[in-house]
Amino acid sequence: MTVIKYLFGIIFILSGMRGLFTGSVIAGTLLIILGIVILPPISTELSHKLKFWNNRTYRYGLYFIFLLCIGVTIEKPRKKIENPVSVANMSLNTNPEAKVKSYTKTANLQKEEIDIDNSSFWKEFDPIVKERVYKLIKEKDCEGLQKEFDLTADNMDKLQANGKSGTRNLELMSFLENTMKELNCH
């Protein structure tokens, strides 16, 4: 049993250190503490100083609470974007005369026929985004289009803050801006 405690203690400590370096500070710290507490010399010392530590139920309950807190506070890994491009020299085209070049085809969206733009930038997005945007356009939902624009801008800011490319977001923002002007949303 001592070997298993050493093994788990070391694994938790190393995992906690990795968590600290990847940004999960709280989860990493809790893992390190849990790893240290599980180590047999520390556990033995705690049992001499704390009477409740001799009770297995309390000790394992504490381990469980630590693991629960770690699970709640751990950050999910973020997807990396390949081929980052600098966006510093790009600007959002706000010319009302500018139109996105497109070819259209008919697609079925929720059993209704709509025209969908086949511009190249759509290939960078999940089809759900495209369908959501075109549903907003069909319904002439200016508020929904503005929320989509704001969400895309926030995503681009997050990408740029991490040194990633926001080109696709910029193209979608340009498309949304032009569409909102065509629908007289501004």
Q: What local confidence, expressed as pLDDT, does residue 118 receive?
A: 66
Q: Does position 127 have pLDDT exceeding 70, yes or no?
A: yes
- Please compute, for residue 74, the number of CA atoms within 13 A of its CA located in the half-sphere on the CB side: 16
What is the overall mean pLDDT for the chain? 76
Q: Which residue has the higher pLDDT, 40 or 121?
A: 40
pTM exceeding 0.95 = no
Q: Which residue has the higher pLDDT, 148 or 97?
A: 148
Q: pLDDT by residue (tens digit) across 80-100?
A: 544 444 444 444 444 444 444
The pLDDT value given to residue 114: 41
- pLDDT in the model for residue 11: 92
| Helical spans, DSSP H, in the chain | 2-22, 25-38, 40-49, 56-73, 127-138, 142-161, 167-182
User: 179 Cβ partners below 8 Å, 6+ apart?
Assistant: 137, 145
Give the tens place of pLDDT for each residue, 37-85. Answer: 999 898 888 888 888 888 889 888 888 998 888 888 877 655 554 444 4
Residue 178 — pLDDT band, cuts 50, 70, 90? confident
Given a cut of 60, is residue 120 above it in pLDDT? yes
Task: Report whether pLDDT(110) > 50.
Answer: no
- pLDDT at position 7: 92
Q: Which residues contact 174 (CB under 8 A, 6 or more apart)?
A: 92, 93, 98, 100
Backbone angles phi, psi at 112, to 5 degrees: -125, 145
